[in-house]
Structure 1
Amino acid sequence: MTEYFIQAFVYLIAAVIAVPLAKRFGLGSVLGYLVAGVVIGPLTGLVGQETTTIQHFAEFGVVMMLFLVGMELDPKALWAMRLHLLGLGGLQVTLTTAAGWSIAWWLGLPWQTSLAVGLIFALSSTAIVLQTLSEKGLVKTEGGRGAFSVLLFQDIAVIPMLALLPLLALPVLGASDAVDSGHHGDLSLVSGLPGWAHALVVIAAIAAVIGGGSYLSRPLFKYVVQSGLREVFTAAALMLVIGIAALMSLVNLSPALGAFLAGVVLANSEFRHELEANLEPFKGLLLGLFFITVGAGINFSVLAEEWVLVFSLGAAVIAIKAVILLALALLFRIRGSNGWLFTLGLAQAGEFGFVLLTYSVQSDVISPELSQMLALVVALSMFLTPVLFILYDRVVLPRYRASQNAREDDDSIDDLAPVIIAGVGRFGQIICRLLRANNVPIVVLDHEIEQIENVRQINIKSYFGDASRSEMLETAGISKAMVLVVAIDDRERAVRMVQHVKQYYPEVWVLARAFDRGHGYQLRDAGANDIISETYHSALELGGRTLTAMGVHPERARRMTKAFSDSEAAHADELFEAWKDIEEGISFSPRFGELFLKLEESLSSAMQKNAEEFEQDEALKWTPPDVADEPDAHQSPVGTG
């Protein structure tokens, strides 16, 4: 047990030290993780043979990432990107495979091995590219969308590649145990089955993922939410992803593809944002661990002996892929800096290359010795990827700054959700309906499943999630929002939310619902830009109607309520400053009480002045209403919650 604690400490301290340093120097977190792995592995020997086993575990971060990516899409969006998905992605995989196949065959490898090599280097790093694009805010650019389309097609193409490898077996190699699979293990539902039965089992597994995501996930999460325990929801989210990965592995399919498919199915679920917020930390940790193991797994002895060949092959892979990608960018009209982003971002080999290498050795297609060499080339190209992004940032982008900014402005309009509404009870519903009636895009969050169901019945799309959690707000897009409306019915959570947003996203305009004067002062002190008491305006309106019912002229009642509101506003700053001096919140200390009495005197004076002015201006005769005959007069609509 002690050994495990020490190894975990080594990995974590390497990440904690290296990643912030890499970020500080503008190198990105991925390069930081890779450097950390090299330091604790080949350079210092702090970690050893367990690295390969940990890497197989850490690859689950890729599965989680594709699940989260899938939830960003829906079937309609997937169909809309079919041109780039099939055309751009299909051509990239086909042309790169053909190039790698030809060069490997020219170098003297058997055609079966050459084809496997071409397939391995046709893939790019989904983990590194998407992580880096997300960190740099380039996902929504034209180049970022093109890169995503290619990466998505590559992940789907892994399945037929894995199916093809056993057909390329070379009898002369014989069985090889040099590389442990670590992916499907010994358990399989399809081993030994005839082809037609294998196909039926695979179809059934995919149908189970789609059907379960469509019809069983909602009752499951609703049941979990009713427990009121956040950790149980996290456990349910992990159970879902792990279960899908296990099912896909049992039928010899890619766990990543199964997770992506499940994410697409859940893209329109009201639990989408909460799932993202709960899985995001696990995904980040596992991806970081994966990158560390890639760096720690580099075999420096082989590299020392064949460093010229390794670096030559690594440079050749990046150069050949870059030429093909640049040609495709021009063909599909991905111009300017976006074309270079697309080209440089995808020029490396990917983490699924290690998976194909494993299966190639197991299927007697590639020898163990060649596998070690190719693994170094794959790792080297991945290691150089952040350098390619630095090249894009510091050399390419400055030359296209003006046009790139224009494209980013256009790109941001399509998916912009300028308003996030936290809380969709009776108060928040009215805001939602008003904004929807004016075609204002909104993201609605609430942690009460009943409220989510209520507003969905009136066609307001909303999501389950605790908006007071910082990761929940980030998942909902607070970094890109213009306005945040805090309409939740919890005083402390509302104040904490305002404090967090104004500290980290000061440009967001925050409007907050206050319960009373003291809560309003707390929200104002936290940084809220605009505060509305939930009872103030309705009470003022009802007070004015009470005056009317008692025989006061409606116009005079309107003026009196306005004078009341103006007097309150005139003394608001003075009362707020007095409140800030009170350590234990609002209480009637001598100073505050004195100011409040001053406000009451000002109100009485304003009312008297208003009455005198009205007596001089009144020219219309008016008969008070018979209140007893009109009990339902002036009723106001309320929300459905």
Structure 2
Amino acid sequence: MEAEINEIWLKDILVFLVAAGVIVPLFKAARLGAVLGFLIAGVVLGPSGLGRFSGDVPLLSFVTVTDAHAVEPFAELGVLFLLFLLGLELSFRRLWALRVTVFGTGGLQSGLSAAAIGAAAFFLGYAAPSAIIVGLAFALSSTAIVMQVLSEDRRVATPVGRTALGVLLMQDILVAPILILAGFLARSDDGGLLGALGQATWQGGAAILIIFVVGRYLLRPAFRLAARFGGRDTLMALTLVAVVGAAVLTDTGGLSLALGAFLAGLLVGETEFKHQAEVDLDPFKGLLLGLFFVTVGMGLDLVQVWQSLPIILAGLCALLVVKFVIVLAVCRLTGVKLPVALEAAFLLAPAGEFAFVILAAATSSGVVSSEAMGILGPIAGLSMLLTPLFARIGRWAAARLDTEAPETSDLPQDIELAGHVILAGFGRVGRSVARVMEEEGATLVALEKDGKRARDLRKEGWPVYYGDAARAEMLERVGIDDAALFIVTVDNPEAACEIVRTVRTLRSSLPVIVRARDPDHARLLAAAGATHMTLDAIEAALQMAARALEEWGLPPDSIRSLVDSERDEEYARAERQ
């Protein structure tokens, strides 16, 4: 019997890996995104898709998943790693910088959406506790899908990315209280309810306190010890301990597993091992998160959906319209520009993965009936299927509304100009730098003197504005007083020196990284006040040398050591000339 179960489990995993290796790349090649590919694969290959006919056509049993529940634990790990990496990309300083969006826009959206959807459910005949849970569950959007779509389009650091992230962070914060509330609503004794509330508050607070104490005082020394006496495998193991351990602590305290993983990411992100953790976990996160989306697709029973299609479609349309209107109105109320608000409304209108978690908990406790879950589940799943399509529609609609960039700098009010990175010049080099900085979650503001290029880049989603970075008033407009870093990538030597001199007249201590053509140009930039100069000729030669050594057969560690040593010597030689 055990051997038979293992055989089924291995076969189901093989089906998933085929979907990840064949079906998803086809969807990505068609520019439909990996998320939609995983969701469709789950619907088609699941027990309610082709798996329904495996009894009549035995061959189908080898290409379909027969037990969706067997892979659910791995899918939950995917969500944990997603939220861990999300926390890893943030910092407490950046969370504070996004406080207006998180607690303002996100708080209003969550409250109004829950109230509107809950009231509609109550008037449709749901009991008050059930209506409350339905409203709260459907008020949440999909952090997994929205952030995955924005990441694939490299739009996380754009205004719409920051707006969506702020709202989603507020929604993620609300998951734990909603799950606790779902348990409370199943109790009829007020005394028992108040006692359980006090116990859950104490346990949850204690769990979070333990995570922060351990993370602040033990995590960094533990990582340093592992790096010194272990290796990448030891660091990987310690990272998994941080993720799973924090998740178990919050779960023990009556909070959600995801909250613990997110807190662990925030704490690891404050250490110097942040980048190593990202590199080690990213491939696993992609596969496990894909497995989660496959299980979501498997949860859609096509026969039941067809039988209740009118009710499900009506509920789906109502959900999308209500949340779309509320997100759009709240974003505009909190000062977000119309194109950004419109795109954010399309992204956040569908339901999210936590709707399944909340509704499942409420169903098991008796707050939501199984018959209602048969309708609510497909509504949530179908709306999630529509998220990538809504993202494309929202981007198209926002581009249609966005007027052409005028020949002046018109910075939007929704950019949090604190701790950001300013780029002077956004050509080939500037774009490459911006991509790397964006991957690390930096808030970017770029100035470009070519008006047409600035307009085109804005349409692509880059935060680029027309303006001369050598003008003091322009640098003040982009918040140089609160910037964390200034990068100059313009290829004109005189213009680069003038920009550095202007920066130094405004802020003497701001780190300024500049692109230099040759040693003579580097000396001029140093005299102007640049912190670090990157010489084009030297870096190009070092890249060629590294490639040559790789083809020669040297291992990566040796190549990195040789190139770093040569770089130090070349820059020292350039300074002596």
TM-score (norm 1): 0.63
Distance 1:281 1:498, change over 3 A: farther
2:411 corresponds in structure 1 to none
User: Which of 22, 30, 48 is matched with 2:35 structurally?
Assistant: 30
Preserved CA contact (<8 Å) 2:42 2:295: yes
Distance 1:417 1:366, change over 3 A: farther
1:329 corresponds in structure 2 to 331
1:78 corresponds in structure 2 to 95
Distance 1:64 1:12, change over 3 A: same
Aligned pairs for 1:303-322 within 5 A: 303-322=305-324
Residue 158 of structure 1 deviates from its aligned partner by 1.2
Query: Is 1:43 equivalent to 2:74 in the alignment?
Result: no
C-alpha separation in 2, matches of 1:229 and 1:341: 44
Please say which of residues 10-19 and 194-203 is displaced more in the overlay: 194-203
Please say which of residues 345-354 and 33-42 is displaced more in the overlay: 33-42
Distance 1:57 1:540, change over 3 A: closer
Residue 326 of structure 1 deviates from its aligned partner by 0.9
Residue 74 of structure 1 deviates from its aligned partner by 2.0
User: Which of 146, 149, 154 is matched with 1:137 structurally?
Assistant: 154
Residue 415 of structure 1 deviates from its aligned partner by 7.8
User: Which of 220, 241, 244 is matched with 2:243 structurally?
Assistant: 241
CA offset digits 1:372-426 (Å, max 9, x no partner): 2111110000001111012124444244273584473349986878599xxxxxx
User: Which of 509, 534, 539 is matched with 2:569 structurally?
Assistant: 534
Tell me the amino acid that sits aligned with residue 381 of structure 2: A
1:4 corresponds in structure 2 to 9
Preserved CA contact (<8 Å) 1:100 1:117: yes
Distance 1:103 1:483, change over 3 A: farther
Tell me the amino acid that sits aligned with residue 216 of structure 2: S
Distance 1:274 1:441, change over 3 A: farther
Distance 1:303 1:415, change over 3 A: farther
C-alpha separation in 2, matches of 1:200 and 1:152: 23
Residue 495 of structure 1 deviates from its aligned partner by 4.7
User: Which of 98, 105, 109 is matched with 2:115 structurally?
Assistant: 98
Tell me the amino acid that sits aligned with residue 26 of structure 1: R
C-alpha separation in 1, matches of 2:146 and 2:121: 26
SS across alignment from 1:59: helix
Distance 1:383 1:485, change over 3 A: same
User: Which of 257, 260, 263 is matched with 2:259 structurally?
Assistant: 257
User: Which of 82, 88, 91 is matched with 2:105 structurally?
Assistant: 88
Residue 346 of structure 1 deviates from its aligned partner by 0.3
Distance 1:200 1:103, change over 3 A: closer
User: Which of 345, 348, 353 is matched with 2:347 structurally?
Assistant: 345
Residue 109 of structure 1 deviates from its aligned partner by 1.5
Residue 540 of structure 1 deviates from its aligned partner by 12
Preserved CA contact (<8 Å) 2:158 2:463: no
Residue 3 of structure 1 deviates from its aligned partner by 2.8
CA offset digits 1:129-154 (Å, max 9, x no partner): 01111111111121211111111111
Preserved CA contact (<8 Å) 1:33 1:288: yes
Tell me the amino acid that sits aligned with residue 147 of structure 1: A
SS across alignment from 1:252: coil
SS across alignment from 2:462: helix
1:628 corresponds in structure 2 to none
C-alpha separation in 1, matches of 2:338 and 2:119: 30
User: Which of 462, 478, 489 is matched with 1:408 structurally?
Assistant: 462
Residue 64 of structure 1 deviates from its aligned partner by 1.3
Residue 363 of structure 1 deviates from its aligned partner by 2.0
Distance 1:398 1:20, change over 3 A: farther
CA offset digits 1:176-220 (Å, max 9, x no partner): xxxxxxxxxxxxxxx998654543332221111111111111121
Tell me the amino acid that sits aligned with residue 155 of structure 1: D
Distance 1:240 1:483, change over 3 A: farther
Residue 316 of structure 1 deviates from its aligned partner by 1.2
Distance 1:137 1:415, change over 3 A: farther
Query: Is 1:147 equivalent to 2:161 in the alignment?
Result: no
Structure 2 segments unaligned to the other structure (5+ residues): 1-5, 52-62, 406-454, 467-477, 490-507, 515-530, 554-558
2:512 corresponds in structure 1 to 440
User: Which of 6, 15, 25 is matched with 2:20 structurally?
Assistant: 15
Preserved CA contact (<8 Å) 2:344 2:394: no
CA offset digits 1:427-453 (Å, max 9, x no partner): xxxxxxxxx9872259xxxxxxxxxxx
Percent identity reads 37
Tell me the amino acid that sits aligned with residue 348 of structure 1: P
Please say which of residues 59-68 and 317-326 is displaced more in the overlay: 59-68
C-alpha separation in 1, matches of 2:76 and 2:122: 31
C-alpha separation in 2, matches of 1:532 and 1:197: 59
Residue 244 of structure 1 deviates from its aligned partner by 1.2
Aligned pairs for 1:486-635 within 5 A: 495-496=549-550, 534=569
Preserved CA contact (<8 Å) 1:513 1:534: no
Tell me the amino acid that sits aligned with residue 204 of structure 1: A
C-alpha separation in 1, matches of 2:488 and 2:560: 15
1:205 corresponds in structure 2 to 207
C-alpha separation in 1, matches of 2:268 and 2:280: 15
CA offset digits 1:13-68 (Å, max 9, x no partner): 11222211111212111111111111211331144552134234312222211111
User: Which of 157, 162, 176 is matched with 1:159 structurally?
Assistant: 176
Tell me the amino acid that sits aligned with residue 215 of structure 1: Y
Residue 262 of structure 1 deviates from its aligned partner by 2.1
Preserved CA contact (<8 Å) 1:125 1:346: yes
Residue 352 of structure 1 deviates from its aligned partner by 0.5
SS across alignment from 1:26: coil
Residue 369 of structure 1 deviates from its aligned partner by 1.3
C-alpha separation in 1, matches of 2:362 and 2:351: 16
2:473 corresponds in structure 1 to none
User: Which of 283, 286, 289 is matched with 2:288 structurally?
Assistant: 286
User: Which of 71, 81, 88 is matched with 1:64 structurally?
Assistant: 81
Please say which of residues 40-49 and 126-135 is displaced more in the overlay: 40-49
Aligned length: 445
C-alpha separation in 1, matches of 2:90 and 2:395: 28
SS across alignment from 1:108: coil
CA RMSD, aligned part only? Answer: 3.8
User: Which of 226, 229, 237 is matched with 1:227 structurally?
Assistant: 229
Preserved CA contact (<8 Å) 1:38 1:296: yes
Aligned pairs for 1:472-483 within 5 A: none
SS across alignment from 1:289: helix
Query: Is 1:372 equivalent to 2:409 in the alignment?
Result: no
CA offset digits 1:566-601 (Å, max 9, x no partner): xxxxxxxxxxxxxxxxxxxxxxxxxxxxxxxxxxxx
C-alpha separation in 2, matches of 1:257 and 1:264: 11
Tell me the amino acid that sits aligned with residue 137 of structure 2: I
2:391 corresponds in structure 1 to 389
Distance 1:320 1:153, change over 3 A: same
Tell me the amino acid that sits aligned with residue 37 of structure 2: G
C-alpha separation in 1, matches of 2:374 and 2:465: 43
SS across alignment from 2:342: helix
C-alpha separation in 2, matches of 1:367 and 1:539: 74
Query: Is 1:118 equivalent to 2:169 in the alignment?
Result: no
C-alpha separation in 2, matches of 1:244 and 1:123: 23
1:297 corresponds in structure 2 to 299
Tell me the amino acid that sits aligned with residue 252 of structure 2: L
1:271 corresponds in structure 2 to 273
Tell me the amino acid that sits aligned with residue 295 of structure 2: T
C-alpha separation in 1, matches of 2:336 and 2:510: 35
